[in-house]
Structure 1
Amino acid sequence: MSVVAANFPEHGFPLPPEPELTPADVVARAEAFASELVERQAETENRTFYATDTHEAFSKAGLYRILVPRRYGGYEFGVDTFVKVAIALTRGCPSTGWMYTLGAAHALAVATVFPESAQDELFAGGDFLAPATIMPSGTAERVDGGWKVNGTWGYCSGAPYATHFVGHALAPGASGQLEPMLFIAPREQWRRLDDWGQQLGLRGSGSHSITVEDAIIPDHYTLPGHMSQYSVADGTPGLRLHGNVEYSGGPLSFMNLESAVLAVGIAKAALDAFEDLMRTRTTLFPPVVTRFEDPDYQYWYGEATGMIATAEVGILGAVRLWQEACAAGPAAFTRELEMRLAGISRQVEQLCWRAVEGHLLPTAGSSSVRRGERLERIWRDMSMLHTHAGSAVFLAAKAQRELSRAHFGLPDELAG
């Protein structure tokens, strides 16, 4: 259900670098990158982000323009294309896929919720990479024409090559109390801290902290409230500006889909590593045969394959539901639908986790989890995903309760 919008030369913005590029082309390019990413996982971890030449290759391949509106020189291919690209890159290197996905994904939210005056400036460069954090931090002080923002935000995945940063600062509300304010800061208004790489996994995901010091953020780069509470019920600036229904969807539900997409990519990487062991190593007990000839290994591989394939079908189905809701109109994005999509994301992640920790890791053998082995690294990366607040807290508990509350007509607990 990929969407390819018409060109808009009358607005004076440039056409995409490759006007005839198709969604299939860009997915094929991402899949072709995977083998090289496998070979560079160690250096990516040591650097804490993927290499400059990888970044340049992604840019040249159009990967940073998949969700950028065509009006601004993007490809506007749709979230289904983006998801396939994210899975392919993550399958090659989970750290690289994580950094790419959580940097490039937020073009969709920016093109959905910010006004034309902001988008004309924010997307002027064509490529768009913006880590986004959900935890409000720092302060915003009212000044002429905007806000003076100060603060430090952690876990900004995608920071090394980011063109922008999307965050939430605490600003005085109408009642005088501090309330979250969504803002976007161009690259020249913040600096990246060298504080990533010591975590259990995803050491190469470029999830550094970002510091903003006395940055003046203009009014049209800000929105009151928290991104998770943004309502599309009355339509969106993105829909009115671009005429593409995918810029009218709920930002919260798409953000929840992102972590499930990454879980599928990581699980597929683990299955690839296990298959290599199946083909190259022998059984531990007689009869000693290559593992792929052994009935037990056949079962473990087959069971994990089925679980991961089910998870992939689940996330692609959730994306289709999200797109169908976009096409149905703003009223389709009910609180219940948003939480139902979150529930699907939760189950996708659980299937991936159980496939890896229940079937692949225990039977791979201790030599395959020595430091530097591919499966060892993937295991750490998947474990790290389960410490992410979106997965461990929101999807694991809050989203389940909110789905039930929405279904039975109870008040929205998340709204406070």
Structure 2
Amino acid sequence: MSVVPSDPQNVVQLPPEPHLTPPEVIARAKAIAATLVDRQAETEQRTFYAQDTHEKFAEAGFYRLLVPQSYGGYEFGPDTFLRVAVELARGCPSTGWMYLFGAAHALPVASLFQAEAQDELFADGDFICPATVAPSGSAERVDGGWNISGVWSYSSGSPYSTHFLGHTLVPQGEGEPPAPLMFIVPRSSYKRLNDWGEQLGLRGSGSHSVQLDNAFVPDRFTINDHLSQLSIADGTPGQKLHRSTMYGGGPLSFMLLELGALAVGIAQGALDAYEELMTSRTTIYPPIVLRTEDPDYQLHYGEATGKISAASAALFGAVQQWNDLCEEGPAAFTREEEWRLATISREVIRLCWDAVEGELFPTAGSSAIRHGARIERVWRDLSMLHGHAGYAIALKTMANRELAKAHFGIG
């Protein structure tokens, strides 16, 4: 990811470790992920990852990976950020999910909001901002901004959040449909509800609802549009404010690539669990040998490995394409390109689901899928991703139609 000269009048804050490198951050993620495997049950019970895990993430710099350098961030880019998320999801899907959807939104915030807002939003360096795309609540126009009230569900990352990014609908002229309003608020403006943990999977993902009660949101913290519909063809504030070209990237495609990264990490965790079973358990029917020596288990393991490896290659190939479009400039992020990249993420998730649902889960054995077993939990978690609206609705249906319409210039 290239950089452009910084504004000489802009005072750049140094991050805690100025010489930290992307490989070092990824290595830290791998080391921490190894400690998360045995803590999955407690994470589910708590409904979010532990305070000491949060502190390790902060110390490792994970909450600054996408924060601009001018605000004390590392500005490492999507490749490093998503590789960290993959490793964490591999160790604990709930933890990886909660981390990614808390830390990812530093990128759109740094891209889309004006300097005055960013100076406040990134003042503390670490940035954890869950976001929801489903409009909810209500907004009343007041002098200098809006009073916003409502409840926004599925705000993954909310337990340790510093901000929240949401959408609501505001009335237009008579006979006109309401228009979306995107807004961001600091932690002092909302309350986290205790309403998560009873779902099939991802019970520890910290996907609680947040509630605003007549919170004043100044105009500088709002954008009259929806995150998934924003056009950046004419450039972004972040493109002009910051050194990295990633702040002129497409928010829709990046948002949907995030799901692919989580699928890859979760599927790799399933493969790890399956490998443990292969090296510790024997076949049921003669000849009684370790599963590693059985041709059928070898076949299932190899089939799953190939699909997950292909998914990983497709994911990071798409990330590189996203970076390449950033180099060309915001105008390169047409709706067609945004949706084309999104369809790659769809295929990434399909490959991961096929590997786990088709190869690993049905051949692991009933004793390995009892409650609390790693592969049982991983299957539940990936099932939740498979049913997530970002995949089941946006990627499986909308993406195809929107890509075709954009390509043929329809509507």
Q: Name 1:49's counterpart in structure 2.
A: 48
Q: TM-score, normalised by structure 1?
A: 0.96
Does structure 2 retain, via aligned residues, the 8 Å contact 1:8–1:71?
no
- 1:320 positional shift: 0.5
Partners of 2:260 and 2:172 in 1: how far apart?
Answer: 34
Q: Name 1:122's counterpart in structure 2.
A: 121
- 1:9 positional shift: 8.9
1:149-186 per-residue CA deviation (whole Å, 9 max, x = no partner) reads: 00100000000000000000112336664211000010
Partners of 2:254 and 2:376 in 1: how far apart?
Answer: 30
- 1:10 positional shift: 5.5
The unaligned stretches of length 5 or more in structure 2 are: none
Instruction: Say if 1:177 and 1:398 are closer, same or farther in 2 by CA, change over 3 A.
Output: closer
Equivalent AA in structure 2 for residue 91 of structure 1: R
Equivalent AA in structure 2 for residue 307 of structure 1: K
Q: Name 2:403's counterpart in structure 1.
A: 403
1:4-56 per-residue CA deviation (whole Å, 9 max, x = no partner) reads: 78888953453100000011111110011111100100000000000000000
Partners of 1:313 and 1:7 in 2: how far apart?
Answer: 33
Partners of 2:307 and 2:5 in 1: how far apart?
Answer: 39
Instruction: Say if 1:172 and 1:284 are closer, same or farther in 2 by CA, change over 3 A.
Output: same
Instruction: Say if 1:17 and 1:7 are closer, same or farther in 2 by CA, change over 3 A.
Output: farther
Q: Name 2:152's counterpart in structure 1.
A: 153
Does structure 2 retain, via aligned residues, the 8 Å contact 1:8–1:70?
no
Q: Name 2:191's counterpart in structure 1.
A: 191
Q: Name 2:133's counterpart in structure 1.
A: 134
Q: Name 2:244's counterpart in structure 1.
A: 244
Equivalent AA in structure 2 for residue 394 of structure 1: A
Confirm or deny that 1:390 pairs with 2:393.
no
Q: Name 2:162's counterpart in structure 1.
A: 163
Equivalent AA in structure 1 for residue 345 of structure 2: S
Q: Name 2:308's counterpart in structure 1.
A: 308
Instruction: Say if 1:233 and 1:67 are closer, same or farther in 2 by CA, change over 3 A.
Output: same
Instruction: Say if 1:221 and 1:229 are closer, same or farther in 2 by CA, change over 3 A.
Output: same
Does structure 2 retain, via aligned residues, the 8 Å contact 1:5–1:70?
no
SS of the equivalent of 1:363 reads coil
Partners of 1:8 and 1:31 in 2: how far apart?
Answer: 36
The unaligned stretches of length 5 or more in structure 1 are: 412-416
Partners of 1:226 and 1:242 in 2: how far apart?
Answer: 23
1:192-215 per-residue CA deviation (whole Å, 9 max, x = no partner) reads: 000000000000000000000010
Confirm or deny that 1:101 pairs with 2:85.
no
Q: Name 1:262's counterpart in structure 2.
A: 262
Instruction: Say if 1:5 and 1:381 are closer, same or farther in 2 by CA, change over 3 A.
Output: farther
SS of the equivalent of 2:132 reads coil
Q: Name 2:72's counterpart in structure 1.
A: 73
1:239-262 per-residue CA deviation (whole Å, 9 max, x = no partner) reads: 000032100011011001011110
1:55-99 per-residue CA deviation (whole Å, 9 max, x = no partner) reads: 000000000000000000000001000010010000000000000
Does structure 1 retain, via aligned residues, the 8 Å contact 2:6–2:243?
no
Equivalent AA in structure 1 for residue 192 of structure 2: R
SS of the equivalent of 1:60 reads helix
Equivalent AA in structure 2 for residue 82 of structure 1: F
What is the 5 A alignment of 1:205-220? Answer: 205-220=205-220
What is the 5 A alignment of 1:231-380? Answer: 231-380=231-380
Partners of 2:149 and 2:354 in 1: how far apart?
Answer: 42
Partners of 1:8 and 1:406 in 2: how far apart?
Answer: 36
- 1:330 positional shift: 1.8
Q: Name 1:414's counterpart in structure 2.
A: none
SS of the equivalent of 1:217 reads strand
Does structure 1 retain, via aligned residues, the 8 Å contact 2:12–2:69?
no
The count of corresponding residues between Structure 1 and Structure 2 is 410
Q: Name 1:18's counterpart in structure 2.
A: 17
- 1:329 positional shift: 1.2
Q: TM-score, normalised by structure 2?
A: 0.97
Does structure 1 retain, via aligned residues, the 8 Å contact 2:169–2:181?
yes
SS of the equivalent of 2:67 reads coil
SS of the equivalent of 2:111 reads helix
SS of the equivalent of 2:133 reads coil
Question: Which 4+ residue blocks in structure 1 deviate beyond 6 angstroms?
Answer: 4-9
Task: Give the stretch that moved more between structures: 324-333 or 109-118.
Answer: 324-333
Partners of 2:214 and 2:278 in 1: how far apart?
Answer: 56
1:321-376 per-residue CA deviation (whole Å, 9 max, x = no partner) reads: 11100101122111111110111011110000000011001110000000000000
Partners of 1:36 and 1:381 in 2: how far apart?
Answer: 19
- 1:316 positional shift: 0.2
